[in-house]
Amino acid sequence: MKQKKMISLCVLLLAAGMLTACGGESSTTAECGNAETTTAASDTTTAPADTTVSPAADTTASSADTTDPSAAETAASLNETVPAESRAVSDDTFSDDMLIFLASRYYGSRNNWVPEFIDVDSTEDPDTAAIHLYDLIDNHTSTCDWYYVSRKSGSGEDFLGNPVNLNERPIEVYDPEVPQRSDIPDTACCGVQYIGSFPAGTGKANGYNAALIEYFLLEGYDEEYPFLGGLMNEKTFAETQAAQELYLIIPRDREAHVVVTECDPVEGSIWGRIYSSYNGTPFLLYCNHSEIASDVQIQITDNSGVHEAFSVYLSGMDGSPKADKDCAYILTPELHKQYPD
């Protein structure tokens, strides 16, 4: 009798253990699935498409975390944002794809710029990886940075000798509250507000801050868009070579990734990137030398997909702002002087 009771007790314990294991696996699967549906896509890079996404879900994390965990610990902590094929290839070594993801996040959150290409090369030291972050501008390589980091720790230095720790969480990129996002229809990827026309050379190379901020105050733009002052820096200001028209571009999705490319307005050839965003922060675009043709193309990728590249310009008929694709919505708030000369 005692033997039968013991057998029954063992069967019950075994069944309880199996039920607990199944419940834990189901919970983990659901959590990973939610993370994948809230990550904005990115533009093309040399890495797999998943590895250079704009990881906006991480942008609110604190930069105070300066610990130096192992590759396995970092991969485990990033389960929700790093594709499975990009995680550590072993318990103590980062894969190339993981290094590309971490380098993109580290550089992007500190510069509001996602490089078009990120390559991982070997060095004489098998434990050290050389990571090249760069763009192609007018068929020439424009280097953003070089990182030389340990494949085991993710720590090292950049090409200037400054310390680099790819394990650090991304820092917060300027992301103000923008009530105008709600005015942008779901069929559009951004709102476009024409600010005004200014003589060529008013841009960032010639101390635009004082002149433009004074203009914002005089014309009432600071009341409609109180965050404009925060955009007056090199990280949220894009400028072509001979610009005269100033626009405010507001991505509808706060996790959007934006790329602005300068092109030849006559021949249509591409010159290179002038802006690349880490998240959907609004930015100022100073472009277009004449009304004949626009000299920019704007590409936005967000949680709804990749949108058509578009250009902005002033109508030759009435001077009102236009976009050549429907995915860009023209904002027309009632300001003191909507279309300044």
Instruction: Categorize the per-residue pLDDT at 25 as very low, low, confident or very high, splitting at 50, 70 and 90.
Output: very low
Same domain, 184 and 303: yes
Q: What is the mean pLDDT of the chain?
A: 74
Domain boundary among 132, 165, 198: 165
- Please say which residue of 101, 132, 165 terminates a domain: 165
Clarify whether residues 199 and 230 are in a common domain.
Answer: yes
- Do 139 and 270 sit in the same domain of this protein? no
Residues 96 and 143 in one domain: yes
Query: Is the pTM above the cut of 0.75?
Result: no
82 vs 28: which has the higher pLDDT: 82
Q: Which domain covers residue 156, as residue numbers?
A: 49-165
Q: What is the 3-state secondary structure (H, E, C) of the chain?
A: CHHHHHHHHHHHHHHHHHHHHHHHHHHHHHHHHHHHCCCECCCCCCCCHHHHCECHHHCCCCCCCCCCCCHHHHHHHCCCCCCHHHCCCECCECCHHHHHHHHHHHHHHHHCCCCCEEEEEECCCCCEEEEEEEEEECCEEEEEEEEEEECCCCEEEECCCCEEECCCCCCCCCCCCCHHHHHCCCCCCEEEEEEEECCCCCCHHHCHHHHHHHHHHHHCHHHHCCCHHHHCCCCCEEECCCCCEEEEEEECCCCCEEEEEEECCCCCCEEEEEEECCCCCCEEEEECCCCCCCCEEEEEEECCEECCCECEEECCCCCCEEECCCCEEECCCCCCCCCCC
Q: Are residues 203 and 152 in the same domain?
A: no
Model confidence pLDDT, tens digit, residues 145-183: 999 999 999 999 999 999 999 999 888 888 899 999 999
> Are 76 and 114 within one domain?
yes
Q: Between these two residues, 62 and 87, which has the higher pLDDT value?
A: 87
Residue at 222 is within a domain: yes
Q: Can you give the pLDDT at residue 137?
A: 79
Does residue 239 share a domain with residue 127? no
Identify whether residues 130 and 243 lie together within a single domain.
no
- Most confident of the ranges 54-58, 111-115, 262-266: 111-115
Res 105 pLDDT > 90: yes
Count of domains observed in the chain: 2
Asked if 309 and 205 sit in the same domain, the reply is: yes
Is 95 contained in some domain?
Answer: yes
Clarify whether residues 75 and 218 are in a common domain. Answer: no
Mean pLDDT calculated for residue range 182-207: 80
189 with 297, same domain: the answer is: yes
Do 213 and 121 fall into the same domain?
no
